[in-house]
Structure 1
Amino acid sequence: MKKIKILAMLFASLWLSSCEKYLDINQDPSNPQVAEGHVLLPPLLAGMMRGEAFDSRYIGQYIQNWHSSGGGNTWDRHGYVAGSDAAGEKWRQHYFALGQNIVLAIRDGQEKGKWDYSGVAKAIQAWSWQSTTDYHGEMILKQMFEPNRYVFDFDKQEDVYAEVVRGCNDALTDLARTDGIVSMISLARGDLVYKGDRTKWIKFVYGILARNANHLSNKSTYNPDKVIEYVDKSLASNADNFNVPHTGTSTADGNFFGPTRNNMGSYRQSAYMVSLLNGTVFKDVKDPRLALMLTPSVDGTYRGVNTTFGDPNSGTAATRIATLWNTVPGVATTALDGRYIFSDKADYPLMTYFELQFIKAEALFKKGDKAKALEAYKNGIIAHLAYAKATAKEQTDYLASAAVVDVDADLKLSDIMLQKYIALWGHGCLETWVDMRRYNYSNEVYTGFTLPIGTQLSADNGGKPAQRVRPRYNSEYVWNRNSLDIIGGNNFDYHTYELWFTKK
């Protein structure tokens, strides 16, 4: 028996020794355990788009880009769905989809001298901090990814804003380095957006800084010159737009807003957006973008849904309000239109030249330089008309119309912000929501805009509009409720609490 035991122990020792070598996947080039930057970057870009697009559906209702086809929808009423992850994708994007993957990408870049990859990863992280805090408010910053911790404290939004600036500066430092093994060809392996062009990533970082600085317009520390400086260093034309591409062959690689994925089938274009393009708000001028961005009802008339009321003509085929993609007039009813950003292969823009020109116009207007503000305002309009594929004649005619201010003395803040609203419709919902909250949903700034009031608002709101989105339910409300108590996150009306960046 003793011999058997010794032989058994010897066999086990030999088996474990050989198995240890066999299972050491770090030594197997076919199965690397440490992911490299070019492998990590594509899913990071996809995560950015996913977080923004998923939650834009809900925020698009707050800002009246679109509404539900059914009346009384909670998001149309500035409410939320308790016990649900609805509108929690930005939180998941930041801490899970990007989260540790960005940490790995930064580490891989720094350890191997791939400063372009580490710079890009830092830029994405700064973008995520900025867009997520503008969406949720307080976030977990200092204790993020701290090991052996099961509950996490929330940090103030001003600390997150400072982290955005720090992260952007770190990204700029890395992106400017030419030592190590920096290579456009190497970066292009994973860079689906800018194809390895670091100069465009640098412009993107300055765009983040421009947003960060401009969002503080209600603060005494607001510096319009700094905003203008950042914009001038950022995207220089539509060729610099941050577009996440889609192959569009299936639900797996199709645009989130495309008809194949059918994520927008229950939504209808808003009456407010129609009013901005059909001549109601802009002095009887029919905007060429009406036919390029929106869809007509079956009878050819452009209609939109009013907030909280749903589609009033859902049962009348001749007058039914159009979905965001509609049947092409004169074509079989099964043929989906998929115009503008709603086609399966459409790129999803996360930052655009025209947005930044409107940011510059606003900063110049606040500075008191109306002549240059008018120039930036027109640059934004021209760029978006081109983006929407308006013809040269349509662009010329629209710029000469009464809808576009031609004398700097006549320029108003509402002129700038309304054109920015049109330009960001659909893909820039979260930035538009930042703007609307900065101006307290003012109908003097957003001509014709009307918030739901009284019983039109969600019962939890206490008569107030939404100001933030609650953190993701399956993260914070399941296991971090005590930390939420400190910031009021368990209160029914937490989503109506004003954020730091909007306060004076």
Structure 2
Amino acid sequence: MKKIFLILIAFAITFSGCKKYFDINTDPATPQDPDSKTLTPPLFAQMERGIQFDARYLGGLVQYFGGAVNVGETHGWLVNSDAMGEIWRTNYYGLGANLNLIIQDSEKKQEYNYVGLAQALKAWGWQITTDYHGDIILKQAYEPNRFVFDYDPQQDVYAEVVRLANESIKSFSRTDGTGTPAKMAGYDLAYNGDAAKWIKFNYGLLARNANNLINKTTYNADKVIEYADKALASNADNFIVPNTGSTAVNGNFFGPLRANLGAYRQTRIIVGLLDGTYFTGTAGAVVDPRRNNMITASVDLVFRGTNPGSVDGGTVAGKNQIPNVFGVLGGVTPAAGQGKYLFKDNAGFPIMTFAEMQFIKAEAAFRSGKLEMALAAYQNGISASIDFVSALGTVITPAEKTAYMTSASVRQTAATLTLKDIMLQKYLALYGYGFVETWCDLRKYHYNVGDSNGNNPYLNAYVFPGSFFVDNGGKPAQRYRPRYNSEYLWNVAALKKIGADKNDYHTVKMWFSEP
């Protein structure tokens, strides 16, 4: 026994100071305590990726995209598939633990601006994930040594978004510590370390959060207006994820180099909004100056769009007569560097825009009877959208902009302004990027039914498909189910508690849309 003891002592002495020999979890080539700045840049790509991947399906549901490409247009889902689960992946994998690491690292270093950035992105992640999926995993999400997770109700997630956004505002407002804009410059791809812009972004999140609650007794229009006023103040504050666009690796997911949208077509509703049909009642009466930048005419110079679930339009020279979102006929993908609007290789992807904030303010002001305020915000939203679109393509001249802003498509007085005017202009302004926010609007107004007060801004505009997906029971989609390649493989018991094992779970209405 004594001999064995002496051998063990010798063994310990021999390898004392050689911790790495034993530590099989340590890789000397990989940082074990990553710095916040090294973790930050990829986060923005994850935000863009989550929305754009899922937009291939959600885009059809909200009728930004058409062409009968997939089950999105019929409000359906795919069994045993991760399709429609990328926002889930973004929140829990792409952002998730990385944001927790940034907070831990930055708090130690007293870099409170990095703490604020992580808190803001956590708030954004929870908001978009619950608005897309409904009940999600919140409280147990990052508990160590846990292999199954319970779901939390949407109202708890909404409250957490408010808490995190306010904490982020406090973090960015701190003047102590060691955090400086210079330390974030080059790593913060959205605002380059500008704390004031991050604070505005947080107020934008609070505005979205509060604005979705129009059917609740707790809805507070004045609070929505306050948040919108403190949010993005111009297009210079837009949160844009940049894309270099020189290769398929650094190119926009919606661009020709990636060739993901060759079969996706422009829709009837987008054409009708841009040619004045939905604002004047007559196609072509007032042509929106954004039209040529956002969509494309057929070879006979007529602008056409698809109806939900169809590729109607006929053919010319063997090509479908309705252009795809790139701006060409048939299933053709244009050459690299071509395309238009947000469907170009180097186009940045908007996460939040000034135009959206103005339409949120206009809606809240209208609902609270502040009609002059509503009119001003509504016109500001249209103006901001025109400027945004102009910067992405052929320049819209001041004369063209003025002609539209003073036309019959734009309400000129508070007395003539309707909620439908506001919501349809917002729908148009968010085309190509605001997929989840637009879906929130459609659901809170119950598509073509209207809200709890009978307001129905989408009547005769949003058209349901000729037939819904077979599992829907004749009902429209209200949510997308949790990601298959995690939840439906190892967390089934938790899914059953919320009814997500049912084939029509995706038609269950959201908490935020109900009284």
TM bin (shorter chain): over 0.9
Paired residue for 1:349? 350
Paired residue for 1:188? 185
Paired residue for 2:419? 413
Is 1:292–1:339's contact at 8 Å kept on the other side of the alignment? yes
Flag the 1:16–1:248 CA change in 2: closer, same or farther, 3 A. farther
Alignment of 1:264-343 (within 5 A): 264-283=261-280, 284-313=285-314, 316-317=317-318, 320-327=321-328, 337-343=338-344
Flag the 1:30–1:296 CA change in 2: closer, same or farther, 3 A. same
Question: Matches of 1:386 and 1:232 in 2, distance apart?
Answer: 20
Give the deviation of 1:23 after TM superposition: 8.3
Alignment of 1:69-148 (within 5 A): 69-70=68-69, 73-148=70-145
Question: Matches of 2:359 and 2:120 in 1, distance apart?
Answer: 22
* Offset from partner CA, 1:22-41 (integer Å, 9 cap, x none): 78899999753111111111
Q: Give the TM-score normalised by structure 2.
A: 0.91
Question: Matches of 1:402 and 1:311 in 2, distance apart?
Answer: 30
Question: Matches of 1:250 and 1:373 in 2, distance apart?
Answer: 44
Flag the 1:335–1:257 CA change in 2: closer, same or farther, 3 A. closer
**SS of match in other structure, 1:342:** coil
Give the deviation of 1:58 after TM superposition: 1.1
Is 2:64–2:266's contact at 8 Å kept on the other side of the alignment? yes
Asked if 1:228 corresponds to 2:225, the answer is: yes
Which residue type is aligned with residue 438 of structure 2? Answer: T
Paired residue for 2:386? 385
Give the deviation of 1:333 after TM superposition: 7.1
Give the deviation of 1:336 after TM superposition: 6.4
Q: Which runs of 5+ in 1 are unaligned?
A: none
Give the deviation of 1:299 after TM superposition: 3.0
Question: Matches of 2:469 and 2:20 in 1, distance apart?
Answer: 61
Counterpart of 2:457 (choices 445, 456, 463) is: 445
Question: Matches of 1:47 and 1:319 in 2, distance apart?
Answer: 34
Asked if 1:423 corresponds to 2:424, the answer is: no
Counterpart of 2:502 (choices 470, 491, 494) is: 491
Is 1:255–1:345's contact at 8 Å kept on the other side of the alignment? yes
Question: Matches of 1:235 and 1:353 in 2, distance apart?
Answer: 5
Paired residue for 2:514? 503
- Provide the alpha-carbon RMSD of the alignment: 2.5
Which residue type is aligned with residue 66 of structure 2? Answer: H
* Offset from partner CA, 1:48-74 (integer Å, 9 cap, x none): 11111111221111111111355xx42
Question: Matches of 1:98 and 1:175 in 2, distance apart?
Answer: 20
Is 2:64–2:432's contact at 8 Å kept on the other side of the alignment? yes
Counterpart of 1:210 (choices 199, 207, 212) is: 207
Paired residue for 2:404? 398
Asked if 1:179 corresponds to 2:176, the answer is: yes
Give the deviation of 1:449 after TM superposition: 2.3
Give the deviation of 1:337 after TM superposition: 3.3
Question: Matches of 1:266 and 1:75 in 2, distance apart?
Answer: 14
Is 1:298–1:319's contact at 8 Å kept on the other side of the alignment? no
Question: Matches of 2:219 and 2:488 in 1, distance apart?
Answer: 35
Identity within the alignment, %: 50
Flag the 1:438–1:27 CA change in 2: closer, same or farther, 3 A. closer
Question: Matches of 1:25 and 1:421 in 2, distance apart?
Answer: 54
Paired residue for 1:478? 489
**SS of match in other structure, 2:265:** strand
Give the deviation of 1:334 after TM superposition: 5.0
Question: Matches of 2:345 and 2:336 in 1, distance apart?
Answer: 13
Give the deviation of 1:265 after TM superposition: 1.2
Paired residue for 1:58? 57
Q: Give the TM-score normalised by structure 1.
A: 0.93
* Offset from partner CA, 1:292-313 (integer Å, 9 cap, x none): 1012223332211111112543
Paired residue for 2:376? 375
Question: Matches of 1:449 and 1:148 in 2, distance apart?
Answer: 50
Question: Matches of 2:221 and 2:415 in 1, distance apart?
Answer: 19
Is 1:113–1:181's contact at 8 Å kept on the other side of the alignment? yes
Counterpart of 1:263 (choices 247, 260, 264) is: 260
Question: Matches of 1:25 and 1:177 in 2, distance apart?
Answer: 40
Residue range with higher mean Cα deviation, 317-326 or 426-435: 317-326
Question: Matches of 2:420 and 2:397 in 1, distance apart?
Answer: 26
Is 1:116–1:182's contact at 8 Å kept on the other side of the alignment? yes
Is 1:168–1:209's contact at 8 Å kept on the other side of the alignment? yes
Residue range with higher mean Cα deviation, 485-494 or 291-300: 291-300
Paired residue for 1:432? 438
* Offset from partner CA, 1:257-302 (integer Å, 9 cap, x none): 1110111112111111111112322222111111010122233322
**SS of match in other structure, 1:211:** helix
Flag the 1:28–1:459 CA change in 2: closer, same or farther, 3 A. closer
Give the deviation of 1:249 after TM superposition: 1.0
Is 1:327–1:334's contact at 8 Å kept on the other side of the alignment? no
Is 1:25–1:32's contact at 8 Å kept on the other side of the alignment? no
Paired residue for 2:157? 160
Paired residue for 1:361? 362
Give the deviation of 1:320 after TM superposition: 2.1
Question: Matches of 1:451 and 1:8 in 2, distance apart?
Answer: 81
